[in-house]
Amino acid sequence: MSSYLDKKDIQLSKNFFKKGFIIRKVSDLKSLKTLRAAIVNSLCKSLKIKMKKEKDFDKFLNEVHEIIKIKNLNDVRLNILNSINSSSEFHKKYFEVSKDLLFSLVGNELAMQTRVNLSIQLPDDSSSLLPVHSDIWSGDSPFEVVVWIPLVNCYSSKTMYILKPENYKKIHTQFKKYAGKNSSDFFKNIKKNVEWINIKFGEILIFNQSLPHGNIINSEKETRWSLNCRFKSLYSPYGDKKIGEFFKPITIRAASKIGMNYSLPNLKK
């Protein structure tokens, strides 16, 4: 198959195929800091405390478990989600943070998930687990990628894991043997072949959501904060989650707009 991609994009694609994910420093740190500031601002309002200064954001987010009880966590999370998802500027900044990688891996006419997701994992909290899964198994399109943005440094149990592509190929061909097993049993079978994502604030992760992934109980002494959002090529096939419902177009080019609005002249008298 011919490819007119430049060498940089070809190498990036090879790495994505091999590992199932890409981690890069953000090129737009200002937009990333704007995202984190919006989260902190919403959190402070939810907790009814004074807004923190930027130099204190990292410590505040990492140690928030000292002032949030597990029973109140979901309410706090929903308050923040409602705040950030009511802001079109927040969505725009999210795209700008990941724009370069998305254009290289996905394309430059994109659809974006209508709601950005937020994960908060307090230490030793079993209520915030995301068991091993593939998004495709629950109706997502295989043409989507996930942009995962840490708001604090994430490592060890304070992060997510993803099954390596070469190991998923073996499981995929023998998948029927896992029928009837629960996610815990499935994870035990793949645990030794997953990769734990070590990523710092200031970096972003784009991963192949068809690969099994998830998290475990955060046994570190810090709280995990991360954002995630799906992107796909605007004209690629959709799964159960359609454009206008789950996705919105964000980078429609001129030729596409002309084509969408064109109609043949009426020759009937």
The residue with tokens 């084509």 is: 259
Count Cα atoms within 13 angstroms, Cβ side, for 47: 20
Span 18-256: which CATH code?
A: 2.60.120.10
The Cα-based distances of 125 to 160, 216, 217, 220 in angstroms read: 15, 10, 6, 11
Q: Return the structure tokens found at 237.
A: 């096939």
Instruction: Yes or no: say if 46 and 80 are a contact pair by the CB < 8 Å rule.
Output: yes
Count Cα atoms within 13 angstroms, Cβ side, for 244: 0
- Residue 138: pLDDT band by 50, 70, 90 thresholds? confident
Mean pLDDT score, 98-123 = 97
Task: Give residue 86's identity as a one-letter amino acid code.
Answer: S
Q: Residue 1: is its pLDDT beyond 70?
A: no
Domain borders along the chain are 18-256
Q: Which residue has the higher pLDDT, 78 or 180?
A: 78
Give 160-172 pLDDT, tens digit per residue: 999 999 999 888 8
Mean pLDDT (the chain) is: 94
pTM over 0.85: yes
Give 173-211 pLDDT, tens digit per residue: 877 777 777 888 888 888 999 999 999 999 999 999 999
